[in-house]
Amino acid sequence: MYIAVVDDRPDDRAELIAMLTRYFAAKCVCAKYCEFSSAEEFLTDFVPGKYDLAFLDIYLGGLTGMEAARQVCRDDPRCRLLFFTTSHAHAVESYAVRAAYYLTKPLAYRQLAEALDASCAALWRDGGGLAIQVRSVETSIPLRDILYADCSARRARIHLEREVVEVDNPIGEVIDILLRDERFLCCNRDIAINMDQIAQVEGGDFLLKNGERAPIRHRGKSALKKTYLEYSLQTLRRKEGTL
């Protein structure tokens, strides 16, 4: 899970991240944080699909957090927006950008936990998670964030958009868990790929949206390609509301 924290006060950012770390550690969820001191800095970094949650102070130098929220709401409706600020003055306005929650400073952990329980419920319900161990610590990675899983030097690896996570679990166990979800396909020995991340079939490979390639095993190649094409068609029909 990737979280943006936008606030011009370093102490407030640090306090929020400490509380977030406590919350997600208790949930065994792997969370990564990116800090921004201005709305402009955040919007320069922002691309649709990058962040699951964005915490925004409203009163910033330059663009306000509300102005930044409007752009995020327009370009990436999936990103959950949460305001944390010193005033209730913009609470009604926050509905216009479909904010998940409106928090006031000083933050209390219980208040934040309630906001996260409500805001993350849909993310976890819709996406599911892979429960694994990383350096003997239990954690969970949202399935939608996984590009593919493979094995190197007898270590199972989970490939994400911006990092590769080595896990303690055997690769066979990881793949067995992933294959319980319809979006994953075992395309070669010790490789399970997220079909939502495939851009196209190119020669003997699945070409991912980020440019990486996953080889398709020769035996059963036609069946694997057919499985992917059928899944793609089914996904398209769901989006169009014909399923």
Residues 143 and 82 in one domain: no
Into how many domains does the chain fold? Answer: 2
Residue 182 and residue 81 share a domain: no
Question: 84 and 112 in one domain?
Answer: yes
Q: Tell which of 106, 127, 148 closes a domain.
A: 127
- The answer on 177 and 115 residing in a single domain is no
- Domain assignment of residue 77, given as a range: 2-127
Domain boundary among 103, 127, 151: 127
pLDDT for residue 173: 94
Per the model's pLDDT, the better-predicted residue between 154 and 193 turns out to be 193
pTM over 0.75, yes/no: no
Give CA 16 to chain center in angstroms: 19
DSSP string for 178-230 = HTTSTTEEEEETTEEEEGGGEEEEETTEEEETTS-EEEPPSTTHHHHHHHHHH
Q: Of the given ranges (44-53, 132-141, 194-203), which has the lowest mean pLDDT?
A: 132-141
pLDDT top residue among 240 and 189: 189
Looking at the fold, whether 50 and 98 belong to one and the same domain comes out as yes
**pLDDT digits over 121-144, tens only?**
766 655 567 888 888 877 878 888
